C-alpha cells in the first residue's frame, strides 16, 4: 500500500509504503482535544514505512499508562499529522484526516470507548474497548 498525506498549507508531507497494523477510532480525551471532535481516526503503520518531508512542531505529554505521547503537527497551519508513543517506538499513529485519500480507512475497533461522548456515535458493529487493549505485536 502506498499512501501520502500532509498538512493543509503544504509545508509538511509524508509518504507511507506499507500495510497498516491496526485501524482504530480513538475516543480518548487527548484525541478529542487534538482533533476538536469526539474521536480521532487513526491508522497505525510500522515506523520504517513512514517518510516525512519537513520539520513538524511537537507537543508531548505523559499518558495515564506512563507512556510519553508526542503529537506532530504543522507549525504553520497547525494541522495534526501523526503521533508517536514512547512505549511503541516501532509504529507511527497517522491521523487519517491528514491523508490525501482518507477513503482507504477501514476501522477495526474503537479504543478508549469509556471516554466517548454520547453525541459521538460510533459504528455499533465495531468491537469497543474501554481503554487501549494490550498489543504485544505493536
Domain coordinates in residue numbering, the chain: 2-115
94-105 b/e with 16+ CB inside 10 Å = b?
bbbbbbeeeeeb
State which residues of the chain have pLDDT below 50: 136-138
CATH number for 2-115 (one of 3.30.70.260, 3.40.50.620, 3.90.1590.10, 3.90.1150.10): it is 3.90.1590.10
Q: What pLDDT digit, counting tens, does each position of 50-64 carry?
A: 999 999 999 999 877
- Specify the pTM: 0.92
**Where are any strands of DSSP class E within 2-134?**
2-6, 13-17, 22-26, 40-46, 50-53, 57-62, 68-73, 80-85, 88-95, 109-111
d(Cα 32, Cα 26) in Å, to the nearest integer? 8
Nine cell digits for residue 87: 512505549
User: H/E element holding 100?
Assistant: none
How many residues does this entry show for the chain? 138
Q: What pLDDT digit, counting tens, does each position of 56-88 carry?
A: 999 999 877 778 999 999 999 999 999 999 999
Amino acid at each position: 500500500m502506498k499512501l501520502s498525506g500532509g498538512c493543509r498549507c503544504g509545508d509538511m508531507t509524508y509518504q507511507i509504503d506499507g500495510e497498516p497494523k491496526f485501524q482504530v477510532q480513538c475516543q480518548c480525551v487527548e484525541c478529542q482535544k487534538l482533533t476538536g471532535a469526539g474521536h480521532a481516526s487513526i491508522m497505525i503503520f510500522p515506523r520504517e514505512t513512514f517518510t516525512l518531508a519537513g520539520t513538524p512542531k511537537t507537543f508531548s505529554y505523559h499518558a495515564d499508562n506512563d507512556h510519553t505521547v508526542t503529537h506532530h503537527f504543522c507549525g504553520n497551519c497547525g494541522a495534526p499529522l501523526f503521533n508517536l508513543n514512547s512505549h511503541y517506538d516501532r509504529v507511527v499513529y497517522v491521523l487519517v484526516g491528514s491523508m490525501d485519500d482518507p477513503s482507504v480507512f477501514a476501522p477495526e475497533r474503537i479504543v478508549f470507548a469509556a471516554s466517548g461522548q454520547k453525541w459521538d456515535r460510533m459504528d455499533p458493529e465495531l468491537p469497543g474497548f474501554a481503554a487501549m487493549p494490550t498489543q504485544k505485536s505493536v
